[in-house]
Structure formats: structure tokens, C-alpha cells
Chains A and B, each alone.
Chain A
């Protein structure tokens, strides 16, 4: 006779009176496949941990965002935010869909060029643009978004030297009614700095003033902040039109749309609190359309949406290394991935699903990563089935910022795979090796021998 499936013995105290109106989840639907490819198969072929990206979801997210804006506004252009996820394959999916590139460093700029983005379709943001970067951008006719007066004066100097008229916009910061106000990027609207910068640009005659940009914040949960930002940019554009008798070519509203991840400390789940792309689109386009521009004068609307397009298209698959009991009786589960790979676990309570069938029994636990560091906590408190060593889990919505801010710390970074539209699996980044990590190190002659 076959033996029964074993489950670790478990006992749970029953507490009355602690439920809220939402109750507690008692059933866990295991995630057995991603886009039809079994999780167990992925792990057996590509190892654990492993990042998995769904091309289908990337394209679906992009097309949904484009639909949300284009059905409300005539001229819309997305520019893929490289810092959110600059794996070449991910960028190229968005570029194939029609997205330009939005970069904030020379490294990202070069990556965009290598990914086939023409220079004139690269939006160059960020406070760190060196002289050689600005020269490259001017030569390639990229959209230079000027962050501060030092950069403005340097650009003027270089424009004269190169005898070219670069296309520039200014970055504008402003009070949009949210706290904390992001005033570190660009020129301030309220104190007149932004208007002053525009006047300097126009007075110089050396730059082609093309647009207005803002980056009001990240993981924004209120659409009204974007309406306020759009209104203030429209105000600048309108005044520009009156004073210089020219139209602004575009308004770039930046990024900052949230994904449906749940922020730490949030009472409700992200899916219940986060406004949809349509709500953001409604707030932004309504403001611009109703501002008073003639239809033919409406500026192009550029969006640098990153997180909302990529977060839910990626998963991190992992394995339980061990379970243990802490001094206060809490269960601790140690995974083979930690904050080194899952940087966003500092911000989110990531949803974690088992990757195999379980009973309805569950327990509260803290989920640790494998690092020998006290800060390596993936979830401080989560209720999961009775996981055992060797069980697999799926961490959801990990596409934004993890594959750019991950750290090679203590362990190597794992493979990243892409499941394409036909459900074929491709390795898009290999597992790091010791040689790769030490490639740039140099050992002085006197340290070549250790003689232990």
C-alpha cells in the first residue's frame, strides 16, 4: 500500500475575536506554472533561485497602458525607463512595441543605443550628465532634459563649441499636494526658477527648447498629484506660447505609477488601493485637454512609466533551505533568495505562493534569505502552508528595480529567463560565476602567495 503524503505536524492556537471584516485567508492556491511552463520544470532546468519574466505580460501591460492614454489623448509616446529594468531583452520588448528609451546615465544611454534606439528617441534625464555625455547626446540629437543651472550653462557652452542647436527640455519640480515633495530634480515651479531657466534658454538662442518634464515621485497612489503636475506644466507651456509665440513640442509627465504590490505598513492589499492606469490617464489627459490649447497646439504627452509595466511580469522562483523555530516560538523559513536579489522586499510585503499542493493547514512565519546578515528578511510576517526543506515558492511582482538594484553580495546572482509568446524559454542572463565576479580584481605582487 502506498504511504500517505506527509505533512509536518502542526498545531495552531485558535484565537477568537481578532478577525476583521476581511477575515483571514485560509486557502492557498499553489502557483504550479508560469505562462503554462511548470515551475518545477523551470527550477530543475535552470536552478534555484531563478527570475522568470513573462514576455506575454510585458506586452499586455504595455498595450494596456498605451490604450489607456491613446484613447483619451491624440499624441502619446512612451519612453521605457531603463533604470526600472535594463536587461536588454526586457528593453527590446518595449522598443519593439514602440517605446523610446528614457535613461539617466551614460551607461544606460549606451545600453539604449546598443538596443537599437536612435539617438533622437532617447530621453536623457538625471542629474549626472558629464561633459562627454552631453556632447554625445547633442551629436545624436537626443532629448536633453536639463536638471540644474550648472548643466544648463555647460550645455550652452558645448552647443556653441559644437556649433549645434541641441534639443532640450527642462525638468520641473513642484508642489503637487503630496508629501514629501520631490524638489531635488530640476527647477522649481513655484519660486519661478523654472520660468527663469526657460527665459535663459530662449535668450541664449543656442538651444532648441522642445519640452517640459517632471518627475513628481514614485509609487504614487493619488491621481490628483498628476493632474496638479500636468496643470502646472500646461501653465508654463501656455505662458511660453504667449511670450515666445512658439508651441512646446511635448510635456513629459515622468514615471511613478505604482504596481499592485503591497507597500509595507499598508493595511489593505495593493490590488485594492492602487489606482489603475486608466485612472492616471484620465487625470492627466483631462487636465491637458481642458487647459485651453487649440487642438493643433496640443503637446505630445511623453510617459516614462516603468514599474507599472514590468513589475507583475516577473517572478522569482526559490527553494526552502531550512525551517526553524525562533526563541519566541515563531516559525522561521530560510529561502535561497534574500534581500540581495529581492531588493524590493525592503519596500513591499511581497506575495509568496507555494509551488506545490498543500493542505489547508498554515502557519505564521518570518521568511529569511540565505545571507549571514540580520537584515536579510524577505517577509517579517506571512501566513503560508507548512513549508519544508526543498519546497519551492513563487514570489510575485518582482520585475521592477530588482534586476537593476540587486547586489552581488555573499552569493552570486542567478539566471534570468524569459518565457516568450510561444511559451519557449530563453536564458536572458546567465548565472554569475566566480571568474565573472573577480574579473576586474587585481592582486599586487606581494599578495600573490599566502603560504598558509
Chain B
């Protein structure tokens, strides 16, 4: 799972897709995941990072992560291959 290389992000949660002109905003956890995806981090590292930092169960995060990735795909922000 990889963020498309041309996607521009800012630390404040702003995301811009220059190829479509669409812009997005993400919350703090959403932004962290995007920046880890941008660094090509694998799922287990992303998961560890979030579980270490936030007060959340693994099962809850896994469910939310899958849903979030589906959203990123829906918005055409990640390469599915």
C-alpha cells in the first residue's frame, strides 16, 4: 500500500492531489497514517506506531485502518498495486 507519489501533504492535515485538483483534510490519526504511507512503511509498523502512541485496541485500529484505506482508495490517493 503506497501513497501516490504526487500527493502533496502538510503537517496540519491538508492533502492535495495535483492530478485531479481535489483537496482533502484529515484528522490527526489520519494524517499520521498518510505520512507513514508516504514513507512506504508496512502495515505492521504503522500499526505499532499508532498503538504505541494512542489509546486504542488493536482490533479497533485494524478495523478503522481497513476502512480508512478503503476511503483513500475511494478518493484515488493510493496505488493499489
Name A residues whose Cβ lies closer than 8 Å to a Cβ of B.
2-14, 325, 329, 359, 361, 386, 388-389
Decide if B81 is an interface residue (CB 8 Å cutoff): no
Q: Which of B15, B56, B70 has the most CB of A within 10 A?
A: B56
Closest residue on chain B to residue A322 by CB atoms:
B63
Chain B's closest residue to A361 (CB) is B27
| Pair B55/A4 contact, Cβ less than 8 Å | yes
CB distance from B76 to the nearest CB of A (A): 11
Q: Is the CB of A10 within 8 A of B22?
A: no
CB-CB < 8 A to A3: which residues of B? 52-55
In whole Å, how far is B23's beta carbon from the nearest beta carbon of chain A?
A: 5
Of the four ranges (under 10, 10 to 19, 20 to 34, 35 or more), the interface on chain B belongs to 20 to 34
Known: A6-B55, A11-B75, A359-B28. 13 other contacts (CB 8 A): A4-B55, A6-B56, A7-B27, A7-B28, A8-B29, A9-B29, A9-B68, A10-B27, A11-B15, A11-B68, A11-B77, A12-B26, A329-B71
5 cross-chain pairs, A with B, having the tightest CB-CB distances, nearest first? A6-B56, A9-B30, A6-B54, A3-B55, A9-B68
Q: B43-65 interface mask toward A, CB cutoff 8 Å, 1 = contact, 0 = none?
A: 00000000011111000110011
Q: Which residues does chain A contribute within 8 Å of B65, judged by CB atoms?
A: 9
Interchain CB contact under 8 A, A13 and B75:
yes
Q: Tell me, in angstroms, the Cα distance from A263 to B33 when the chains sit together.
A: 40
Contact B27 A386 (CB under 8 A): yes
Query: Assuming the A-B contacts A9-B30, A9-B33, A9-B64, are A14 and B25 also in contact, with contact meaning beta carbons closer than 8 angstroms in the complex?
Result: yes
**Is the CB–CB distance between B27 and A9 below 8 Å?**
yes
Interfacial chain B residues near A13, Cβ < 8 Å: 22-24, 75
Contacts of A389 in B (CB 8 A): 60
When distances are taken between beta carbons in the complex, the residues of chain B under 8 Å from A386 are 27
Of A4, A9, A12, A388, the contact of B53 (CB 8 Å cutoff): A4
Query: Interface centre among A2, A9, A10, by most B CB within 10 Å?
Result: A9
Q: Contact between B74 and A329 (Cβ–Cβ < 8 Å)?
A: yes
Contacts of B32 in A (CB 8 A): 9
B1 at interface, CB cutoff 8 A: no
B79 on interface, CB distance cutoff 8 Å: no
The interface residues of chain B lying within 8 Å CB-to-CB of A14 are: 23-25
If A3-B54, A4-B54, A325-B67 touch, does A11 touch B23 (CB 8 Å cutoff)?
no
B8 sits at the interface (CB 8 A): no
Please give the distance in Å from B66's CB to the nearest CB on chain A: 9
Q: How close is A104's CB to chain B, nearest CB, in angstroms?
A: 49
- Bound form: Cα–Cα A8–B65 in Å: 8
Give 20 pairs: A residue, B residue, CB < 8 Å, sorted on A.
A3-B53, A4-B55, A6-B55, A6-B60, A7-B29, A9-B27, A9-B33, A9-B65, A10-B27, A11-B34, A11-B75, A12-B26, A14-B24, A14-B25, A325-B67, A359-B27, A361-B27, A386-B27, A388-B60, A389-B60
A196 to B77, CA, bound (A): 75
CA distance A386 to B25 in the complex (A): 14
The reply to whether A11 and B64 contact each other, CB–CB distance below 8 Å, is: no
How near does chain A come to B20, taking the closest CB pair, in angstroms?
Answer: 10
Query: Are B55 and A11 closer than 8 Å at their CB atoms?
Result: no
Q: Are A5 and B24 within 8 A (Cβ)?
A: no
What is the minimal beta-carbon distance from B4 to any residue of chain A, in angstroms? 14
Of chain B, the residue at the smallest CB distance from A388 is B60
Min CB gap B60→A, angstroms: 7
Residues of chain A within 8 A of B70, CB atoms compared: 325
By the criterion CB–CB under 8 Å, are B53 and A11 in contact?
A: no
List the A side residues contacting B56 at CB < 8 Å: 6
In angstroms, Cα B45 to Cα A127, docked, is 71
Q: How far is the CA of A6 from the CA of B28 in the complex (A)?
A: 9
Question: Considering the chains assembled together, what is the distance between the CA atoms of A417 and B39 in angstroms?
Answer: 54
Neighbouring B residues of A12 by C-beta, 8 Å: 24-26
- Shortest C-beta distance, A65 to chain B (Å), equals 45
CA distance A10 to B26 in the complex (A): 6
Q: Given the complex, which residues of A lie within 8 Å of B25, measured CB to CB?
A: 11-12, 14
Bound Cα distance from A54 to B61, whole angstroms: 38
CA distance A119 to B67 in the complex (A): 62
Given contacts A329-B71, A386-B27, contact A8 B53 (CB under 8 A): no
Contacts of A361 in B (CB 8 A): 27
CB distance from B8 to the nearest CB of A (A): 14
